């Protein structure tokens, strides 16, 4: 199936989900990194937020979630290490080509690394989505891949 069609199917599947579903890739206890996602401009859509080992999102995040709207996120049971918090988004009005090539998506990144030293650490980070800036790292991860992984996790029998 062509990638543009898959991107559109995944976006439609996300739009059909209830707004309160939160996906946490490793939800084992209540410690980790928590915060809120806000936006500089009005936004309706999904927010992809993750913790990466490098300051460029070039692979699947170590911990990741998709929010169905702006709001709170949490990553639990985060292993000790250094992480970079980054997010991007897809608005419900986006065309499938824009999802495949996310050059104009709202995004955010926490410039300072988050250092988790033990499983008892809880870090709070609030972030704000903004239009792309010239010094933002490129988004090298496939958003349709993240959507597909998310949809399989919340409905393993439906894929």
- pLDDT digit string (tens) for 60-84? 889 988 898 999 999 988 888 999 9
CB atoms within 10 A of CB 78: 23
Instruction: Determine the pLDDT at residue 27.
Output: 40
Q: Where are the beta strands (DSSP E) in 40-121?
A: 45-52, 63-67, 71-76, 81-91, 107-109, 114-116
Q: Is the pLDDT of residue 159 over 60?
A: no
Tally: H helices and E strands in the chain: 3, 9
The alpha carbons of the chain give a radius of gyration, in whole angstroms, of 15
Band (86; pLDDT cuts 50, 70, 90): very high
Distance from C-alpha of 52 to C-alpha of 17, rounded to nearest angstrom: 26
Instruction: Determine the pLDDT at residue 125.
Output: 93
- pLDDT digit string (tens) for 93-138? 888 777 777 788 899 998 899 999 876 678 899 999 999 998 888 7
By the 8 A CB rule, do 87 and 143 touch? no
Instruction: Determine the pLDDT at residue 72.
Output: 94
- pLDDT digit string (tens) for 10-59? 556 555 554 444 444 444 444 689 999 999 999 999 999 999 999 888 88
Instruction: Determine the pLDDT at residue 8.
Output: 61
Mean of pLDDT values over 134-149: 77
């Amino acid at each position: 199936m062509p990638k543009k069609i898959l991107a559109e199917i995944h976006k439609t599947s996300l739009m059909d989900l209830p707004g309160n579903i939160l996906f946490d890739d490793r939800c084992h206890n209540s410690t980790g990194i928590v915060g809120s996602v806000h936006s500089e401009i009005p936004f309706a859509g999904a927010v992809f937020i993750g913790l990466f080992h490098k300051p460029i999102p070039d692979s699947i995040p170590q911990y990741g979630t998709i929010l169905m709207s702006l709001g709170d996120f949490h990553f639990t049971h985060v292993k000790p290490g250094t992480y970079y918090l980054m997010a991007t988004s897809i608005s419900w009005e986006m065309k499938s080509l824009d999802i495949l090539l996310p050059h104009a998506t709202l995004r955010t990144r926490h410039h300072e690394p988050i250092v988790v030293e033990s499983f008892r650490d809880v870090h709070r980070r609030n972030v704000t989505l903004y239009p792309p800036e010239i010094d933002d790292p490129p988004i090298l991860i496939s958003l349709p891949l993240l959507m597909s992984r998310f949809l399989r996790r919340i409905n393993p029998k439906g894929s």
